[in-house]
Amino acid sequence: MSAFLTYLLNGLAVGCAIALIASGLVVIHRVTGVVNFAQGTFAVVAGLCMSSLLGMGLPHGLSEVAAVLVAALAGLLTGLAAIGRRGTTALSALIITLGVGVLAYAVEIVLWGDQPRSAPGLAGSVIVAGARIQTQHLLVIGVTAATFVLLALFFGRTYLGKALTACASNPYAARVVGIDTRLMGLLAFALGGLLGGLAGVLVTPLRPISFDTDVTLIVNGFAAAVFGALTRPVITLAGALLLGVAETMAAGYGYGSHQLEIALGLMIVVMIVQAGRRPAVTQEST
Amino acid sequence: MIDVKDLVVSYGTATALEHVTLTVGRGELVALLGPNGAGKSTLANTLAGLLTPASGTVSIGGRLALIPEGRQLFPDLTVADNLALGGWRSGQRDPSPVYDLLPRLAELAGRRAGVLSGGEQQMVAFGRAMMSRPEVLVVDELSLGLAPNVTADLAAHLAELNRSQGLTVLLIEQNARLAFELCRRAYVLESGRVVTEGDSAELAGDPRVASAYLGGAIT
């Protein structure tokens, strides 16, 4: 029973990290309509940056914040490439983000090499209801919960958040009232970079990160994001937690090498189900 | 207040407006009539700065707001949020002045815009445009899909704003009866060209305009 609870709690932490990646995908897609396949790259950039900064002797806290800001900058640059030119279609932008992800491999290998890097996180573990959970896992859960609350407040309560929602809701009307939809899109990309970076600095102490870790991250994040139809953050969070727990359970009970297949399988099933429902949804909205 | 000279607007190889010239003086209420596909909304979007002319000039002598065709609200946001975003340019986020003008909107403030009736949505679109404190208002198809009494109510508000605050209005309409009642002067646009213009009373008596009003082509 305590093994089950351990897997469950650790799975929730893994799911939280996935949720952060997925929330970046959702924020960017909601505002710009673009599926950003470079989302995993932001986490990798932040993780590698953090390991370097800590290695250079910068203190914890400062290193993590700087790494997340670098990821936000990477998000902004990706946004400039993807939607900076007015009239770029969402499909073209998607291809550009794929290209950015591949280009990032080269940059990362030049800067950090091709070997996995790690970084120290919060040491130790605590016992919760008889189950042992790493303190770093608790940190991941806490930061994710706080991030989702802040995101909900930002989009639901602030003027800027509502302007971003307006861009997603009706881009033409947003332009009519004077909102610069391209600027808002770039802001969404920067926010997506920040969220991806947050996932990167939280995950790097748990599992070493290398230039190609983005594939695992984006597959998991995308699976959770399609669960929330790429637009609904709360359902995305639920999907991410489900995925994290399912993967950790699989690993815990001896199917560790099939974690990615679980994410891919779930993503395919959800996409098939949603594709089947789409005509009805389209009819409702027209 | 609105001065359009020799305006040409194209979508790729297709020309939507061909050498359009029109003026609306300060405090005037002018109509632009025309059938579907005449280029009316293209002109509205060009005046609002959303489309770039291929050639010609557009000069606007004050803050302009557009009530776009089909209302174009933010359906997932509340009425209050829709109004607040209308003040994006002007910085005015408090919708109270609009509630004074259109008290019904205060009652609807917390409702999602997407669930409102067509008339209520048009009222929100009207209020949202007024949030930018415009000196010029371009109204694209005020009456589209609305019951006559709702249209008359909104038209009365427009006329009152024109009278009391000197708001300059360009009313883009297919409903010629409404346009002639509300405006002293009108232009008729067809296939991207201004085919006739003049006093509403004279145009109403023009058989070619009567034909357009009935939905036929102007010959």
Choose among A176, A178, A179: nearest Cβ to B68: A176
Which residue segment(s) compose the domain that B182 sits in?
2-213
Are A169 and B77 a contacting pair at CB < 8 A?
A: yes
B93 interaction partners in chain A (CB closer than 8 Å): 159
Q: Check pLDDT > 80 for residue B38.
A: yes
Mean pLDDT, chain A, whole residue set: 89
pLDDT tens across A114-169, in order?
999 989 988 888 888 888 888 999 999 999 999 999 999 999 999 999 999 999 88
Mean pLDDT of the region B55-84: 95
Residue A282 burial (10 A CB sphere; 0-12, 13-18, 19+)? exposed
User: Residue A281: is its pLDDT beyond 70?
Assistant: no
Residue predicted with more confidence, A219 or B128: B128
Q: Do A178 and B88 touch (CB under 8 A)?
A: yes
Q: Which of A165, A170, A175 sits opposite B50 (nearest CB)?
A: A175
Domain residue extents for chain A? 2-285
Q: Which residue's structure tokens are 């609870």?
A: A5
The mean pLDDT of B52-78, rounded to a whole number, is 94
Mean pLDDT of B71-86: 95
Of A159, A165, A177, the CB nearest to B128: A177
Query: Which pLDDT tens digit goes with each residue over A27-62?
Result: 999 999 999 999 999 999 999 999 999 999 999 999
Predicted confidence at residue A279, as pLDDT, reads 54
Instruction: Give the CATH number, domain containing residue B120.
Output: 3.40.50.300
Residue B212 pLDDT grade (very low, low, confident, very high; cuts 50, 70, 90): low
The full DSSP string for chain B is -EEEEEEEEEETTEEEEEEEEEEE-TT-EEEEE--TTSSHHHHHHHHTTSS--SEEEEEE-S-EEEE-TT----TTSBHHHHHHHHTTTT-----HHHHHH-HHHHHHTTSBGGGS-HHHHHHHHHHHHHTT--SEEEEE-TTTT--HHHHHHHHHHHHHHHHHH--EEEEEES-HHHHHHH-SEEEEEETTEEEEEEEHHHHHT-HHHHHHHTTPPP-
Do the chains contact at A173 and B48, CB–CB below 8 Å?
Answer: no
Portion 152-191 of A in contact with B at CB < 8 A: 159, 162-163, 165-166, 169-170, 172-179
Please tell me the least confidently modeled range out of A66-70, A74-78, B30-34: B30-34
Q: Do B89 and A178 touch (CB under 8 A)?
A: yes
Asked if residue B218 is part of any domain, the answer here is: no
Whether B164 maps to a domain, the answer reads yes
- Digit-coded pLDDT (tens) for A247-262: 888 888 877 677 777 7
| pTM metric for this prediction | 0.87
Say yes or no: B89 contacts chain A, CB-CB below 8 A.
yes
Identify any residues that bridge with B3 across adjacent strands, giving them in sequence order. B23, B59
Q: pLDDT, tens digit, for every residue of B137-156?
A: 999 998 888 888 889 999 99
| Contact (CB<8Å) A173/B68 | yes
Return mean pLDDT, chain B: 91
The answer on pLDDT for B109 being more than 80 is yes
Number of domains in chain B: 1
* A2-285: in CATH 2.60.40: no
Determine the distance in angstroms separating the CA of B88 from the nearest CA of chain A, rounded to an integer.
Answer: 6
A-B contacts (CB, under 8 Å): 48
- Mean pLDDT to the nearest integer, B55-62: 94
Q: Give the pLDDT band of residue A1 (cuts 50, 70, 90).
A: low
Average pLDDT over residues B100-112: 94
From chain B, the residues in CB contact with A175 under 8 A are 50
Q: Report, as an integer, the average pLDDT of A266-284.
A: 66
Chain A closest-CA separation from residue B156 CA (Å): 24
CA distance A170 to chain B (A): 6
User: Is residue B173, in this structure, part of any structural domain at all?
Assistant: yes
